[in-house]
Structure 1
Amino acid sequence: MTTILEVQQLHIHFPTSDRTVRAVDGIDIGIARSETLAVIGESGSGKSVLGLAVLGLLPVNCTVTGSVRYRGADLLTLPESELEKIRGRKIAWVPQNPAGSMNPSMTVGYQIGEPIALHVEKNRSIVRKKVLELLQFIRITPPEERIGSYPYSFSGGMLQRSLVAMGIAGLPEVLIADEPTKGIDIINRQAVSALLRVLREKGITLLIITHDLSFAQNLADRVAVMYSGRIMEIRERKSFFDGPLHPYAKGMLLSLPENGLHPISGKTRESDKYDGGCRFRFRCTYTMERCRAEPPLIALPDGSAVRCWLYD
């Protein structure tokens, strides 16, 4: 399959007054056209920072090295004027926290229509028609009444679906959704999952950033596991959930309620405290002398990859 988005040796560091936070520390990953890739991991693992880097939405106080290539062009080297032609039109972003991501002083219809007017169509009547179609598509009805509603009148699930509508309004090729099920109930999680599944069937490439493992299991083609700024495992979805390889990934699945709620012992070390060894070794039950050196991302015969000496 053709790779549409490729991240190579991406490092994103945030300097502070007394240390440097290595939020993303050497990521290599590719996403094929029309694929759905779920990036999972604990809070603070660098998932959202990775997504923000793709669209150049990181704050100016961080240092970024490596490359993020979309159709061969390195997004990290493009001027802002060129990024604006891609952001929202070719690659769109659905932020987490829907209540805080929408402008409370503007109608939901106006905010959904903004990327259409910016990237696709200037005619106001056509924009309105497309917004009504999007509201119907995301099952916010009746659209003729809801188009003039303000965010405060929407439930959390409705706001989340509205953010997805904003993301796809510009007809992007790639949609990056950051924690799209965070803070919403089971019924609305199912609605968002169904909506994203429809987008996948329409051929949109999806990069889903989530700690909701059941959501990833229901939607993804492949799963990438992040821990402390590193990719620890990349596998086809079914193989991953049937039998994860990395000890951290195994621990994540064992911590689920249906698997007995067995938490991973210990806690993640701050990124500036690593000494060159495996980043998970202080919490790992398989730790051995060799783990004092950090393993590479080891490619396996079935196309999977895992960062663990157990598979070398």
Structure 2
Amino acid sequence: MTPTPRLTVDGLSVRFRLRTATVHAVTDLSLTVHSGELLAVVGESGCGKSVLAHALLGLLPGNASVTGRAVLDGDTDLFAGGRRHLGRRVGLIPQSPTTALNPVRSGRSLLEETLRAHGRPRTDADAVATAAGFDPGDLDRYPHELSGGMAQRLTTALALAPDPPLLIADEPTTGLDRPLVDHTLDLLRARCDAGNAVILITHDLTAAHRVADTVAVMYASRIVEHQPAEALFAAPVHPYTAGLLDALPDRAFRAIPGHPPMLTALPSGCAFAPRCARATDACTTLPALTGPARCHHPLVDRAAVA
């Protein structure tokens, strides 16, 4: 049976207008996430991963401009006034949980209010907290009384409380020890196995490999590779993806030389070319995203992975 598209993003670009420059945070991004799919979005810090999440949820600051389309369940364009009932359909595990929590509300108060707002009994609070790895005995604490890991688990519980069909998890394992990292990843995987969809934004490639169905690799505001997780980890097509994998401790443990370009001064051609050993004069022009990767000199023959 053909999977149902849960979210379709087409030509998304996000710009931040500064006094002396423009930040090109996301550029011409297109992707589709299906029911039952866990999509991991990976890349170095500052590549645009979190801006993608904030754009979809309408959480960008006033100096942001957004173009493109993002259609939820085939009928709701998020960029055309379609966010009215978004809270019932899309959940967010934020990257900075301590700043996302109301400092004058206890965890129990926040969770019970969320449950009540979505038609669930307040008595479900302990079970929802437990499912997220949060000890119900700590629900009566206030955010300043929680460790970073505890705050992370509480925001996970708040995001799961409405049981949203689409969950965006922005670095959801920050501050957690290994058992709780595994618990959180298993929780996300279980949601997809039950027919929901998850966008996992992470710098943890090991986590992505463990639970993702597909992986989108971002570099300097663009998706440079997008393919099934097993294929990507076995045979990356873009040199940048290969560099990320080579930096893993269980592989070459070798960092990519150089630094990403400033998002206020992106080159007209391939942004990775200054760091790429395979770059040629052809890379002064922007490669198209044909097949799984946006690259003039892919590591794997395109026909072999098409």
TM-score, normalisation: structure 1: 0.90
Q: CA deviation at 1:65?
A: 0.5
Q: Name the residue aligned to 1:21.
A: 23
Q: Deviations along 1:119-162, whole A, 9 cap, x unmatched?
A: 324xxxx22x1112212322434x3x333222344343332222
**Alpha-carbon distance in 2 for matches of 1:171, 1:202:** 11
Q: Name the residue aligned to 2:290.
A: 298
* Equivalent in 232, 243, 254 of residue 240 of structure 1: 232
Q: Name the residue aligned to 1:219.
A: 211
Q: Name the residue aligned to 2:296.
A: 309
2:39 is aligned with what amino acid? L
Kept after mapping to 1: 8 A contact 2:133/2:183: no
Structural mapping, 1:137-156, within 5 Å: 137-141=131-135, 143=136, 145-156=137-148
Q: Name the residue aligned to 2:69.
A: 67
Q: Deviations along 1:212-267, whole A, 9 cap, x unmatched?
A: 11111111100000001100000111111112110000000111112232111111
Q: Name the residue aligned to 1:133.
A: 127
- Structure 1's unaligned 5+ residue stretches are 300-304
**Alpha-carbon distance in 2 for matches of 1:115, 1:296:** 44
- Structure 1 stretches of at least 4 aligned residues deviating more than 4 Å after TM superposition: none
Q: Name the residue aligned to 1:116.
A: 115
Kept after mapping to 2: 8 A contact 1:174/1:204: yes
Partner-residue secondary structure (3-state), 1:5: strand
2:206 is aligned with what amino acid? S
Q: Name the residue aligned to 1:106.
A: 105
Structure with greater proportional helix content: 1
Partner-residue secondary structure (3-state), 2:79: helix
Count residues with an aligned counterpart: 296
**Alpha-carbon distance in 1 for matches of 2:91, 2:132:** 17
The alignment's C-alpha RMSD in Å is 1.6
Kept after mapping to 2: 8 A contact 1:113/1:169: no
**Alpha-carbon distance in 2 for matches of 1:112, 1:15:** 36
**Alpha-carbon distance in 2 for matches of 1:225, 1:158:** 29
* Equivalent in 59, 76, 79 of residue 79 of structure 2: 76
**How has the CA–CA distance of structure 1 residues 135 and 285 changed in structure 2, closer, same or farther, with 3 Å as cutoff?**
same
**Alpha-carbon distance in 1 for matches of 2:237, 2:267:** 24
Kept after mapping to 2: 8 A contact 1:113/1:166: no
- Structure 2's unaligned 5+ residue stretches are none
1:136 is aligned with what amino acid? T
Q: Deviations along 1:262-295, whole A, 9 cap, x unmatched?
A: 1111111112323311111011010011111111
1:277 is aligned with what amino acid? G
Kept after mapping to 1: 8 A contact 2:152/2:174: no
Q: CA deviation at 1:177?
A: 0.5
- In the alignment, does 2:8 pair up with 1:6? yes
Kept after mapping to 1: 8 A contact 2:279/2:297: no
* Equivalent in 205, 210, 216 of residue 202 of structure 2: 210
**Alpha-carbon distance in 1 for matches of 2:64, 2:180:** 35
